[in-house]
Amino acid sequence: MDSTLLITLALLGAGIIAGLVYRFFHGRGHKVVGNECISLEKLAVSKNGDPVTSFGKTATLVQFSTQYCGQCPGVRRALAKLEYRHGDVLFIEADITERLNLAAHFNITQTPTVLVLDSAGVIKYRVGGIPKPNTIEAELTKLGVK
């Protein structure tokens, strides 16, 4: 066999494996170790025209988005439905298009990125990309959301 063909096949195989690994882990999320508490003052988001000054009674969902994110509107709708279904959950969205300092602070490398916070604002769970079905609900259940 020609060595060029072998190299091409090896690169193709490596690319397929890398793609499968990425697809498997994308949107799964992970538990956040540590006790970082979000400052709503630094986050500086508003909801219905009013600045957000308190966390949800049981949990808060924070979505980091950009103006150019094609997947963000769908995730926004899904998280807003969770907020509607569970009255003790607050959903807020932070647009980081012009706020690179915020993106750097939270190490946002893709949008959407969703954080699940407890009632004190401590980050408990993080998902980069579109959350897998029921991932966020499972984390809310762990925080006592019914």
Q: Are 126 and 115 in contact (CB under 8 A)?
A: yes
What's this model's pTM, rounded to 2 decimal places?
0.80
For the segment 64-103, what is each residue's pLDDT rounded down to a tens digit? 999 999 999 999 999 999 999 998 999 999 999 999 999 9
Structural domains in the chain, CATH included, are 28-142 (3.40.30.10)
Q: Are 133 and 37 in contact (CB under 8 A)?
A: no
For the segment 28-70, what is each residue's pLDDT rounded down to a tens digit? 576 666 788 889 999 999 998 899 999 999 999 999 999 999 9
Taking alpha carbons only, the member of 28, 49, 48 closest to residue 113 is: 28
